Structure 1
């Protein structure tokens, strides 16, 4: 994706000029510095990023075994890429591309707002777009799809501004929506929400039918791309858990409070990801003031009404975030999240500060550019160096794999062989033990991560999809898993509880940081896989088929292929026109 956008970092990108080359080189180098050990041999497995070492089209990957497939279609994209270049290389390419695309996208947005911006401003924006708490906290918890949404967002905003100006059509935002759609619900929500807000604001202000039509096409494209997860999610059983709305609300990751943390780009609900440097009031306060000043400068520097258009998503998203952190609005927010169809996508509201982070990074570029142009000669160098280095000083934890959180590891061969043996057995669902979706694999340095099984076992895997938090346990969405949990809570042995739900095979991941009574499990049926890392017992349950429909995945695929076809056809027509014009001009 980043490679396809390299020529778009300015209106006239010259690969021979330092202004064109240096930001690109800087973006690549800083991406390597951030990922560090994560680019080593193997795959990074942490929190919400249990990257499978063997790309397989499992029911989980295709969204066929879960009521609300949140990892669709991002996991399918990872599998497709992994089959082409290998799982390890696929993950490296995805993470590198996301960070490079984010940096260059912010620089492209800056160049759209300030066309004559110099190299100092571009480089400052490239750095600020990546070195911030938002990227740090999301990568630390393995939410690469949210960072993907952040990376696509500046390109989407840039395209939306061009549509409103009348210098381009909906095709300026369609590629960004397509890439956001690859990331699933969180990425698409952030990008499409910002695009639609800008387009609708522009249509109302200018009373422009072409802009309104572009908004309508964007909405249809968003609906089609959301089909893979929206169709099954809307038919899933409702989970009215008020704790969920509170547990995922932004929290303070610094001494400056929740609002101050959000202004600085932080405030993620998972306290385990909060960077240690932000516990210092000076760092947190400086980050909040710097990003706020950056947003203000970007809006003021934007030509014409572009500043007001950029302010529209900031205002709309800002109101939603404030609702989620406001005590008096707790009931309203709970209703919006749990009662309104599709409202669950808003539950983790901190991701809605993504436009604030992107516009703030562009504004820091404006500040650096003005410093390089207007300060006395003796002060220009130090001032620009300060603005370039300040984001690194405020977020030093990002360097070299976020302190080792992003470290590539090799999945034990016996685990992978056991999975292969399980795949060769007669049909039947798999029940997973320990009865939790989180693991601390010993071979993964005991890092917290989601279980690998649903992404590696090529059959339906039944596991506990509830989410344990410090504030309590968030109920899962699988009715079968809920019944198993109820039986286990009543004293039924886990293997018998799983067998009662129609599971044929009970698989135990050993060395996962949680205890399993292997003796009782072995005596519950016939042992069919016996490996140091994986034990599988046939308990004799019936064969079952995935209960979810593939209509959402099919709709997503049709939308993607149709949009790509239209964009490709339009691009081919442009190329043909340019070639024809060139031939006519070259005729004597």
Structure 2
């Protein structure tokens, strides 16, 4: 009658696990996998199809240049990609990862692979977490949870502004929550958590923050019930996070890079629906940049329906945690929502400003909206829980109707995300003239480049005049001095580079931009053309010896033999050494460990 007991001593009877009143059918992993037709194939295939539908034209020829996502069409390891001369190296090591992937796949293919991989990892991660909470969740429930995990405003708004590293953190978060919880229960969770944290290190500060906050929240909550096991996992996770973060954390802390108090309020969540800030946040929206807000969310019925669906899904998630005694997984949601609330509530504004501007490293918290990721993961899992619950309690016809209704709601409420977020993401071919000019500038004798127009954002004519960061620092193999301030509708947010701030100050005093940049001690002045921004070409030509002259890029040498101010790279070298050593050890561990091979073979299986 009985089929033995599981590792926690719960009796298994003919594929059914009895623990009190809880009937968890198909507990046997092999039976569940046969029902699915394999533990990974169906979720991964479905997730790939959804990812292709979302990205659409972004998968065409060329690279996508959209706001913060600027991808060089040529694989070149630039000083910017390594963080040299950058007070707060936010693009480290993600830009170096892009360069390395570009060497293997070509840069254009590497970007497509990264974008598809992020979406696939996110949706399959939601499925893995759902099957951790509800081990015998059916294929329809898992498919709808996978869809909800990527077909939502949180993903669409971050895609529009090109924050793929934030989305990488969001994608790895459910895996980290699952691993952290498994490490508390026993099994291979601790090893899995270290590998997930190592993967998060590839994305840099935002990726690590999201993944570490979620995983550590579970471990901290577990201290109350199992101090020894959870404390050991917490120490191991903390050491891993510190090691993979050294590449950007050490240079930033050594440089004392800070955030101006004027920029704190500009990055707080804002309403993208008629329901206000909190009503927008509930359904996964509320991103601080209004340019990313979907127009359809202005419709009251859409906003209200999206909010109600999210609330219902979260309730379902909470009920599932209570029934399966997985309540620790609620801790990351509480932490994430708490951080968002701290930045939004009026009576906590002073505390939030102090954290961001005065606490060392607090500037990484400035964009608080990213911490909504845990809530979105929970509601996505909750969608699967709701559908699975109906399947258990209703006849097949009613369950089918409910599944179709939920599918329709998920798709229609965020239909704007389809096909490159309504065409806002589109691959383009960077002109060969620009690429050749960048290569010519790279080949010149070493020297710092002052970049004009003095604004870090561009509307390249060959990019359909879409807004994007300047491509120059990521394609030119020289140090580039550029304006790192952020122009917003509400005003200009100060940057973090004091030398760039000095150039901006000179320009504000009436000095010509080319003279202001030249006074910073650069060797070259480069003017990007065809950007829909004004630039005094005659003044640039007259300022020195023309060394590159092409329709898209004009470069003059303004001070023969001067190399600009040499960067202080000691902490940069130390950071890279620590992080590369850690990544190498993790990769070696993953390659030779039997635990890693078993983990790879059972990523989507229910926990032992």
TM superposition score normalised by structure 2? 0.90
Matches of 1:304 and 1:231, distance apart in 2: 44
The CA deviation at 1:454 is 0.3
CA distance in 2 between counterparts of 1:34 and 1:213 reads 40
Q: Which residue of 2 aligns with 1:547?
A: 568
Partner residue, 1:272: 291
Alpha carbons of structure 1 residues 11 and 512: separation in structure 2 relative to 1, 3 Å: farther
Q: Which moved more, 1:48-57 or 1:548-557?
A: 548-557
The 2-side partners of 1:162 and 1:231 are apart by 31
Secondary structure of 1:60 counterpart: helix
User: 2: distance between equivalents of 1:292 and 1:303?
Assistant: 17
C-alpha separation in 2, matches of 1:11 and 1:103:
21
Residue 573 of structure 1 deviates from its aligned partner by 9.3
Q: Are 1:565 and 2:585 matched, yes or no?
A: no
Aligned to 2:19: none
**TM superposition shift of 1:15:** 7.6
Computed over aligned residues only, the root mean square deviation of the Cα atoms, in angstroms, reads 1.8
Native 8 Å contact 1:236 1:477 kept in 2:
no
Q: Offset of 1:320 from its aligned partner? A: 1.4
Q: 1:49 aligns with which of 47, 69, 83?
A: 69
Matches within 5 A, 1:53-202: 53-202=73-222
SS at match of 1:250: coil
Task: Give, in angstroms, the shift of residue 302 of structure 1.
Answer: 2.5
Match among 238, 247, 251 for residue 232 of structure 1: 251
Give CA-to-partner distance per residue, 1:489-535, whole Å, 9 cap, x none. 11222222222211111000000110101011111111110100000
Question: 2:238 and 2:72 mapped to 1: Cα distance?
Answer: 33
1:207 to partner: Cα distance: 3.0
The answer to whether structure 1 residue 439 and structure 2 residue 458 are counterparts is yes
In the TM superposition, 1:109-508 aligns within 5 A as 109-202=129-222, 204-302=223-321, 306-508=325-527
d(CA) in 1 for partners of 2:193 and 2:577?
23
Give the distance between the partners of 2:36 and 2:339, measured in 1 at CA. Answer: 43
Distance in 2 (CA, whole Å) between partners of 1:285 and 1:305 is 30
Determine the C-alpha separation between the residues in 2 that align with 1:238 and 1:43: 31
Measured after TM superposition, the shift of residue 563 of structure 1 is: 2.5
Q: Output the CA distance in 1 between the equivalents of 2:596 and 2:579.
A: 26
Q: Which runs of 5+ in 1 are unaligned?
A: 1-9, 579-588
Shift of 1:303: 6.1
Q: Which residue of 1 aligns with 2:15?
A: none
Question: CA–CA distance in 1 between the matches of 2:386 and 2:595?
Answer: 40
1:556 lines up with 2:579 in the alignment: yes
Whether the 8 Å contact between 1:11 and 1:112 is mirrored in structure 2 is no
Contact 2:182–2:190 (Cα < 8 Å) also in 1: no
| In 1, Cα distance between equivalents of 2:257 and 2:56 | 42
Q: Which runs of 5+ in 2 are unaligned?
A: 1-27, 602-608
CA drift of 1:323 comes to 1.0
Contact 2:63–2:428 at 8 Å: present in 1 too? yes
For the residues of structure 2 that align with 1:444 and 1:24, how far apart are their CA atoms?
Answer: 32
Looking at structure 1, the residues matched to 284 and 460 of structure 2 have their Cα atoms a distance apart, in angstroms, of: 31
> How big is the shift at 1:330?
1.1
Does the CA contact (< 8 Å) of 1:430 and 1:461 recur in 2?
yes
Q: 1-side partners of 2:62 and 2:85: how far apart?
A: 27
How do 1:519-558 and structure 2 match up within 5 A?
A: 519-540=538-559, 542-544=562-564, 545-548=566-569, 549-558=572-581
Q: 1:473 to 1:257 in 2, by over 3 A?
A: same
Aligned to 2:80, the other structure's residue is in SS state coil
- 1:11 Cα offset (Å): 5.3
Deviations 1:316-366 (A, max 9, x none): 222211110111111111001111111111110011010111111111001
Q: Give distance in 2, aligned partners of 1:481 and 1:195.
A: 37
> CA offset at residue 238 of structure 1?
4.6
Query: TM-score, normalised to structure 1's length?
Result: 0.93
Where does residue 586 of structure 1 map in the other structure?
none
Q: Secondary structure at the match of 1:468?
A: strand
